[in-house]
Amino acid sequence: MLKGIDLVINAELIHALMLMGHGDQLVLCDINHPAQTIARHTTYGRLIDLSGCGLERAAEAILKLFPLDTFVDAPVKRMQVVGDPEKQMPIFSAMQTVVDRAEVRPIRMDALERFAFYEAAQNSFAIVRTSDPGPYGCFIFSKGVI
């Protein structure tokens, strides 16, 4: 046990976060995302599970340790709703609130079409799957510097 690290952050997740460098990307997703399949293609190469944890809680814990990239316009990406790319799901605004609060400033969040999101996820450093039931709880965070 370490002081000051949220109990949501398990040993594997802290290891992956420590390995990541500036510009690397971390996927945080719900239980519906094909995370196991896609995780094999990431730099880390395997899925990191946060069983029993929802998206907002996981993001709050991660973003206490993980600075978002200030050198890109949109350091957070999310998946668009299939067939209705303008539709707003409740998780989108909930995650926007978490991200803005963590960075103490408004953060731009861009939307990616489903298969573009999957491709970006494959090119990420690691995938963290929560137990959140979703739908559309799929986000990519770009790591910045301290």
Half-sphere exposure for 131 (CA within 13 Å, toward CB) = 5
One-letter amino acid at 96 equals Q
Cα torsion through 88, 130, 57, 41, rounded to 10 = -80
Residue 104 contacts by C-beta under 8 Å, 6 or more apart in sequence? Answer: none
Give just the sign of the alpha carbon dihedral 126, 47, 44, 102: positive
The catalytically annotated residue of 22, 33, 44, 73 is 22
Told to judge if 22 belongs to the known catalytic residues of this protein, a careful annotator would answer yes
The catalytically annotated residue of 24, 30, 69, 132 is 69
Give just the sign of the alpha carbon dihedral 95, 97, 103, 108: positive
Give the other-Cβ count within 10 Å of 98's Cβ.
21
Told to judge if 33 belongs to the known catalytic residues of this protein, a careful annotator would answer no
The catalytically annotated residue of 33, 118, 132, 136 is 118
Told to judge if 69 belongs to the known catalytic residues of this protein, a careful annotator would answer yes
Any idea which residues carry the catalytic annotation? 22, 69, 118
